[in-house]
Structure 1
Amino acid sequence: MAQLDTLDMIVLVALLLGTVAYFTKGTYWAVQKDPYASAFTNGSAGKQGKSRNILEKLDETGKNCVVFYGSQTGTAEDYASRLAKEGSSRFGLKTMTADLEDYDYENLDQFPEDKVAMFVLATYGEGEPTDNAVEFYEFINSDDVSFSEKSSDETPLTTLQYVGFGLGNNTYEHYNSMIRNVSKSLDKLGAKRVGQAGEGDDGAGTMEEDFLAWKEPMWAALAEAMSLEEREAVYEPVFELTEKPDMDHEDDTVYLGEPNKNHLEGQSKGPYNAHNPFIAPIAESKEIFNDKARNCLHMEINVAGSNLSYTTGDHIAVWPTNAGKEADRFLDILNLTDKRNTVVAVKGMDATAKVPFPSPTTYDAIVRYQLEICAPVSRQFVSQLAQFSPNDAIKAEMTKIGNDKDEFSKQVAEKNYNIAQFLYYISNGEKWDKIPFSIFIEALHKIQPRYYSISSSSLVQKDKISITAVVESVEKPGAPHVVKGVTTNYLLALKQKQHGDPSPDPHGLNYAITGPRNKYDGIHVPVHVRHSNFKLPSDPSKPIIMVGPGTGVAPFRGFVQERAQQAKMGEDVGKTMLFFGCRNSSDDFLYKEEWEQYKSDMSGQFELVTAFSRESAQKVYVQHRLKERAEEINELLLQKAYFYVCGDAANMAREVNDILAGIISEKRGVSKQKGEEIVKGMRAGGQYQEDVWS
C-alpha cells in the first residue's frame, strides 16, 4: 500500500507541475531563470517576487516621496517621472515613481506624516481607469474599503498627505473622472491634499501648459507643508549609461531592438500581450483609396498559432519602428553617428529606477526601437536642455523659449518640430555633444504601441485580423516639416515592400523593415490584441445603428461582416443601419463593393446611408443624415436598438451625441434635457457605445 501511495504522490506532483507549466505558458520557469526577461514578458517587475508593500519599499530605499502613475499610453508615466526628478533636483526630496499595479494599498493608513504620495492619473475611455490602475481604483472607491489598522475608523488616512494631477480630454463626458473620483475618495477617508488637484486637457491641446501651470503653485504648497527649501536645479541622472567599445554589437547578448530575452534568443513564446508582442506575418495588404494624395491601407494580419484571440470590436496594437531618416537625424545632431553601433549598458542609479528597455544595447537600437523621438517637444524639456547648449548665445535663447509660453509656441509648437529637428533649428546645425544621453532616456517616452479598431469579424476569420488605417501626413502652413505618422508610415513601408513597390516615400523615410537581426523578414509586424467593451448585442435579432465616417467605419465592417455571416447561417438578424461618410464616392468610399454583398447576404436587413461631403455645394456629413432619418432612428431606439459611434471625438462624436438627444426630444415630445438624460441612460446601460479618438 505504501508503494502505491508513493506512486500516487509522484503522479500527482507530475500533474501539478505540468498544470503550472501549461497555464503559465512556461513563464513560471522563466521567472526562476531570468527575472529581467520575465518582467518584460508579463508586465511590471513589481509582480516578480518583489514586495508589494510600498511602505517597506520607501523605508528600504530611503525615499520620502512616491509618485504613483496610472498610464495607458505613457504620458502619465512621463509626467510622474518629471515630477519625481524635479522634486529631487529642486527641493532635495528622495523620490521614486511607482506603477499603481505593482503595490497593495491596505496599509495606506500607516503612511508616515513626513512623506508624501503623488498620484498622476489618466482617465481612459468613458471615464475608466487605465489598465494598470484598475485594482487601485476599485479598492479606493469601494463602499466598504478596509485598511490594515484603522478599518473601523471613518477617516483612516489622516496621516497621508497627497498631491494629484489628472490627464483627461474634455471631448469625453467623464472628463478627468479618475483624478476627481480618487481625490474625492481620499479626502473622504481623511487624507490631506496638498494644493489643488490639477487637470490637464488633451482635448483642448493644452495638456503640457496645464501641467506646467499646475505644478508651480503645487510645489510652493508642498514646500510649505514639508518645510522644503528650494535650491538651484541641477541635472542628476536617473540612469547610468556605460559604453562598451570592446563589445561587438552583433554579439548574441546585445539587444538590437528585441523587446525581451525570449525574442533575443529567437525563442519568442506566449502569452503575447502589451509587454511581449507576437511577430505576425502580414498575409495581405492593399491600398483602398483612389486618391494619389492620400493613402489608406487594408491589412490582413495572420495570428494563427500564436494563441492570440479576438472578438469582433476588439483592438489590435501595432508596435512601430522609428523611420531611419529620423533616427539618423537624432544621432547626427548629438554627434553620435560614428557611435551608432557602440554597445551601451543602461542601469538605474538606485533600486527604484526602472530601465524602460533591455540592455546591453546600442545607441542605434535605442533611437530606432525604444524612444518616441518623433513626439512633440515639451517646454519643460527645452528648459532642461538649455544648460547643455553648444554655446552661451544658444543657452540664452533656449532659456528664453523654455520660460516663455508664447515664445515656445512661436518657435517650437507651431513649427511641428520633434526634438532633433528643434535642436538643428536652434543651433543652426551645430552639434549638441554636451547632452548626457541618459537625459533622453528619462525625458522621452518609451515608444508605445498604437491601437487600431479591428475591421474584421472573429466569427468569419478568427486567425486573421483586419485593420484599416489612413496614413497620417500633417502639413501646417509655415511649418518647415511635414509630420509623418510614425506607425501608419511604417505600415505603408511594409505594404510597399510586400508589393515590390519601387516608388520611394516623398519625404525620404526609410524603415528597418526586417527588424532587429532581420528577424521580421518576410513582411512581419509586432502586434498584440487588446480586448474592448465595444461589442455587438449578444442577440443578433436586436437592431443596431452605427455611425462611422472615414476610418471610423473600421469596426463596423467587422460588425456587418459578422451579421452577414449569421444571416447566412440561418439566424434571425435585426435591422442593421450604417451611416458612413467620406469626401466623395470615387476616391475614399471604403469597402464600396463589400457593402453591396452584405446587403445581399442579409436579405435587406442591412442599409448603408452615405454622406459625401465634397459632392455638393453644401457639405454633407453623417450628422446631417442622422437628422434626415430621425423618425426611423427613434423607432429603432424604442425597439431597444444599440447605437454605436466610431471616429473623431472632438467634433463628430460630440455632435452625434447632441443630435441623438435632439431626435429623442423632438420625436417623443420631451424636453431637450430629458432627451440628454435618455442618452445618458443608454450609455450607462451599454445601449450607446463609442470607440473614439481625439
Structure 2
Amino acid sequence: MATQVDLLLAKQSAASIPEEPNPGPSAAPSLTYSDSSDEHDLEEPRQPELRRRRASTRLIAQSPADVQRITGETTTQLIKRCCGGGCCLGLGGKGAKKDGVELEHVDFPDNDAYRSLNLKIGQIPSTLNGVCDIPEQTVFLQPLRRPSSVPSPSGSSVDGAPLGVAQVQNKLHSLSLEDLDTRIQPPSFVQPHPPHHVFPARIHNTRELTGQGAEKRTFHFDLDVTNYPEGEDVDFKVGGAIGVSAPNEVQMVEELLDLLLVPRFLRDKPVLLRTTRGRWPTVWGDDQARELVTTRRDLLTWCSDIQSYPPTKQLLRVFAEHATDANERKILLFLCSAEGQGVFCDLRTGPHVSLVQLLHAFPSAKPPLDLVLANLQPLMPRFYSLSNDPHEAVLTRDGKQRRLIEIAVTVHETPDWRAGSRPGVGSGFFQRQALALLAAQRRGAPDADLYIPMFKGLMANPLAKEFVSDGPMLLIGAGVGIAPFRGFVQRRLKTANCANKVWVLQGIRDSLVDELYSGEWGVHEDEVKKVVQSRRGEGRYVQEEVAAQADLVWYIINAVDGRVFVCGSSKGMGEGVEKALVEVAMDKGSLQRDEAQQFWDLKKLAGQYIAETW
C-alpha cells in the first residue's frame, strides 16, 4: 500500500506544500491557529461506528432473505410473477378490471388512522393469490406456576435439605424477576456485546444548543460515569462513541397494552418468556432457544421496536388472522397477497407506520402479545459520539471528584398520523429526559434523578482510532457531525507544540440558531474555525469552503501525520465534501479524476483520510 501511495504522490510531489499554507485571495478567509489559545470547552457528538443506517432510512430489501421476509415470496417467485413494467401498481385500484377475475366491494375502516395509511385500494379480487403463510410462532408467554410435585422430605439431602426440595427451590429462584429497576435501565438479558454492561448514567446537566426557530433541536448532556462498572478493559476515548439502550416511550407502551387487551394486573406481573430460536430478546446474543422471567411491560419497553420499521407481510398476516371484522380481514389479506403487492410496497415506502397506528387502523385485530412480539424488529442500541475529552472532564462536587462525559443529540422526527410528527426512539428519549430535567430545574429541583442507560460502545471506531497527538488536522463537519471534533480540539490544546496544527470547517444552516457550541471551543474561534452558513449571508455549503481552502487541504494531507476528518450526513454534505476533495487533488496534484479518486482511497487506507458519515 505504501508503494502505491509513493508512486501516485510522485506525480504531484512538486505541487505539495512543505511549509505553512498560504491560501491566497480566497473568497473565504484562510484558517489560522492562535498561539495565545485559552482554556477549552467545545462541541457536540455524533454517531460514529460502522456506517450504520438509522431505521428511518433503512433500505427496504438488501438481500434475498429480506425480500422473502418482507413479501412472503422468494426472489425466484417474485421474478416469475413480475414483468418489470410496474403494472402491479394498478392492481386493485379503482375500477380495476381483468378478464376472468371477479372483484368485490369492501367497506374501508372509518377512522383517521386507516385514512392516514393512504392505501390506494378500490375493489379487491374475490380470490387472492400468493397470500403469505401465517408466520411460525417463536415467542411464547406463559404464566409462572409453582411446581405441584414437591418431592418427599425423605431421602438424601444437601446442606440439611432434601435433594428434591433444594432442586425445586433453585428452580423457583431462577424463575423470578431480578432485582433491577427497569424504569431506568433494561433487564440484564438486554446485554450489549460482551464485556459491556448497560449502566444507568445520571444526567448531571443538560441544555439546548440550538435556538428558537432551528429546523432541528439539539441538546447537550453531561453524564456522570463515575461509578461505571470496571473490568471492561477499555476506557472512554477522544472521538469514541457510547451506546445507548433507549426505551420506547412510556405512554406508547401503555397504549399498546390497552389496544392488545392486556389486563392491567398482568402488565407488570412476572411471566415466563420462552423462545424456540433466534437471539431476541437479547441484542447480540446467540441464535438459540431461551427461557427467562420478565414482564410484558419490560418486553415492549426495552426489547421490541414499535415505531421505526414499516410493517412486514408477516405482521399484517398475523393481524388478518385475528381480525374479527370481515372487511378489515379482507384488506389485510389483500396486502399480504400477490395482487396487493403494489399497494403493500406503497405502504412500506411511505411514512413510517407505527404499531399503534396499525392497531387503530384495524380496530378489530387483537392478536396475542407474544405473536406480535415474534414479528417485530428488535430494539437496537443507538450510538452517540463523545463531544469532549473524556480524560479531562472531572467535576468536584460535595468534596468528591465526579467523572463526566459529554454528548450532543439532534432530535430526528418522522411524520405521525396523530401528532403530525414524532421523534425517533433514541433522540425522542433524550429529548424527553432533557425537557424533564429542565422543568425540574425551573421548579427549583436541580438534582432530579434522571438517567441514560448507556455502555462504552465504540471506543475503537475510526474517529477515535486515527486520532493522533501530533500532525496537522483538518476537521470538516456539518450539523451534529461537528460534535466529536470538539474533543479533538480540547485534547490538542493540551499539547504544547500544536500551534498551526488544527483547523475546523463547520457547516450550518443559520448561525443564529444552529451554531452548536458557539464560543465554547476554548480558543480564538475566528482563527481556528470557519463557520459556513447555507441559509444566511452568502449561502454557501461546507463543501464549497473545502474547495476554497484547497491550499490548506493539500498542505495537511501531504504533511507527516496529516489527517483530514469528515463527519456528518452522507447525503448532501458527505457526498459533496468527497467530490470537493477529489477536485482539490485534481487541481493541486495535477491528477486526472480517476487518479484523484485513487489518491483519496489510498489516503483512507493509510488512515489519513477518515470519513464517518451516516
The residue number in structure 2 matching 1:423 is 359
The residue number in structure 1 matching 2:296 is 363
**What per-residue deviation string (whole Å, max 9, x for no partner) do you get for residues 643-693 of structure 1?**
111111232112211210111011121111111010000111111112221
One-letter code of the match for 1:302? D
Matched-pair contact (CA < 8 Å) for 2:186–2:198 = no
Task: Specify which of 531, 535, 539 is matched with residue 464 of structure 2.
Answer: 535
Matched-pair contact (CA < 8 Å) for 1:661–1:672 = yes
One-letter code of the match for 1:628? A
**1:475 Cα offset (Å):** 3.6
**What per-residue deviation string (whole Å, max 9, x for no partner) do you get for residues 442-465 of structure 1?**
221232211001111134227321
Task: Specify which of 451, 462, 477 is matched with residue 524 of structure 1.
Answer: 451
Task: Specify which of 440, 443, 447 is matched with residue 372 of structure 2.
Answer: 440
The residue number in structure 1 matching 2:207 is 286
Is residue 654 from structure 1 mapped to residue 565 from structure 2 by the alignment?
A: no
- 2:307 and 2:323 map into 1 onto residues whose CA distance is 21
Task: Specify which of 471, 475, 490 is matched with residue 561 of structure 1.
Answer: 490
- 1:217 and 1:540 map into 2 onto residues whose CA distance is 52
Task: Specify which of 356, 381, 402 is matched with residue 449 of structure 1.
Answer: 381
The residue number in structure 2 matching 1:180 is none
The residue number in structure 2 matching 1:627 is 547
The residue number in structure 1 matching 2:222 is 300
- 1:588 and 1:395 map into 2 onto residues whose CA distance is 48
Is residue 205 from structure 1 mapped to residue 139 from structure 2 by the alignment?
A: no
Q: Against the structure 1 CA distance between its residues 395 and 683, is the aligned structure 2 distance closer, same or farther, given a 3 Å change threshold? A: same
- 2:511 is paired with a residue of what secondary structure? coil
Segments of 5+ residues of structure 1 without an aligned counterpart are 1-72, 74-123, 127-167, 172-200, 222-229, 505-519
Is residue 599 from structure 1 mapped to residue 532 from structure 2 by the alignment?
A: no
- 1:482 is paired with a residue of what secondary structure? strand
The residue number in structure 2 matching 1:612 is 533
The residue number in structure 1 matching 2:514 is 588
The residue number in structure 2 matching 1:406 is 342
The residue number in structure 2 matching 1:322 is 248
Is residue 686 from structure 1 mapped to residue 607 from structure 2 by the alignment?
A: yes
- 1:431 and 1:639 map into 2 onto residues whose CA distance is 68
Task: Specify which of 127, 136, 140 is matched with residue 236 of structure 1.
Answer: 136
The residue number in structure 1 matching 2:111 is none
TM-score by length of 2: 0.66
One-letter code of the match for 2:511? S
Q: Against the structure 1 CA distance between its residues 320 and 611, is the aligned structure 2 distance closer, same or farther, given a 3 Å change threshold? A: same
One-letter code of the match for 1:370? C
- 1:590 and 1:231 map into 2 onto residues whose CA distance is 51
**1:217 Cα offset (Å):** 4.2
TM-score by length of 1: 0.58
Task: Specify which of 588, 598, 611 is matched with residue 667 of structure 1.
Answer: 588
**What per-residue deviation string (whole Å, max 9, x for no partner) do you get for residues 162-218 of structure 1?**
xxxxxx97x9xxxxxxxxxxxxxxxxxxxxxxxxxxxxx997833379755467445
The residue number in structure 1 matching 2:330 is 396
One-letter code of the match for 1:523? L
Number of aligned pairs?
454
Instruction: Look at both structures and tell me which one has the larger radius of gyration over its CA atoms.
Output: 2
**1:612 Cα offset (Å):** 1.0
**1:280 Cα offset (Å):** 1.3
**1:474 Cα offset (Å):** 2.8
- 2:529 is paired with a residue of what secondary structure? strand
More helix by share: 1
Matched-pair contact (CA < 8 Å) for 2:320–2:365 = no
- 2:389 is paired with a residue of what secondary structure? coil
Is residue 489 from structure 1 mapped to residue 428 from structure 2 by the alignment?
A: yes
Task: Specify which of 336, 351, 354 is matched with residue 262 of structure 2.
Answer: 336
Q: Against the structure 1 CA distance between its residues 474 and 233, is the aligned structure 2 distance closer, same or farther, given a 3 Å change threshold? A: closer
- 1:546 is paired with a residue of what secondary structure? strand
Q: Against the structure 1 CA distance between its residues 332 and 533, is the aligned structure 2 distance closer, same or farther, given a 3 Å change threshold? A: same
**1:438 Cα offset (Å):** 2.1
Is residue 386 from structure 1 mapped to residue 284 from structure 2 by the alignment?
A: no
The residue number in structure 2 matching 1:546 is 475
**What per-residue deviation string (whole Å, max 9, x for no partner) do you get for residues 612-655 of structure 1?**
11113x63110111111112211222224211111112321122
The residue number in structure 1 matching 2:408 is 468
- 1:623 and 1:436 map into 2 onto residues whose CA distance is 52
**1:591 Cα offset (Å):** 0.9
One-letter code of the match for 1:444? L
**What per-residue deviation string (whole Å, max 9, x for no partner) do you get for residues 293-336 of structure 1?**
64211111121232362110110111111112211221122122
**What per-residue deviation string (whole Å, max 9, x for no partner) do you get for residues 322-379 of structure 1?**
1122112211221225342343211134xx5555257422222221222111222233
- 1:575 and 1:419 map into 2 onto residues whose CA distance is 51
Q: Against the structure 1 CA distance between its residues 643 and 331, is the aligned structure 2 distance closer, same or farther, given a 3 Å change threshold? A: same
The residue number in structure 1 matching 2:166 is none
Q: Against the structure 1 CA distance between its residues 481 and 439, is the aligned structure 2 distance closer, same or farther, given a 3 Å change threshold? A: farther
- 2:364 and 2:131 map into 1 onto residues whose CA distance is 30
Q: Against the structure 1 CA distance between its residues 461 and 573, is the aligned structure 2 distance closer, same or farther, given a 3 Å change threshold? A: farther
Matched-pair contact (CA < 8 Å) for 2:532–2:542 = yes
Is residue 125 from structure 1 mapped to residue 46 from structure 2 by the alignment?
A: no
- 2:452 is paired with a residue of what secondary structure? strand
The residue number in structure 2 matching 1:40 is none
Segments of 5+ residues of structure 2 without an aligned counterpart are 1-46, 79-129, 148-173, 283-290, 395-402
One-letter code of the match for 1:439? L
- 1:467 is paired with a residue of what secondary structure? strand
Matched-pair contact (CA < 8 Å) for 2:478–2:542 = yes
**1:550 Cα offset (Å):** 0.7
- 2:520 is paired with a residue of what secondary structure? helix
Is residue 642 from structure 1 mapped to residue 563 from structure 2 by the alignment?
A: yes
One-letter code of the match for 1:303? V
State percent identity of aligned pairs. 18
Matched-pair contact (CA < 8 Å) for 1:203–1:650 = no
Q: Against the structure 1 CA distance between its residues 440 and 271, is the aligned structure 2 distance closer, same or farther, given a 3 Å change threshold? A: closer
- 1:527 is paired with a residue of what secondary structure? strand
Q: Against the structure 1 CA distance between its residues 387 and 553, is the aligned structure 2 distance closer, same or farther, given a 3 Å change threshold? A: same
- 2:306 is paired with a residue of what secondary structure? coil
The residue number in structure 1 matching 2:98 is none
One-letter code of the match for 1:238? T
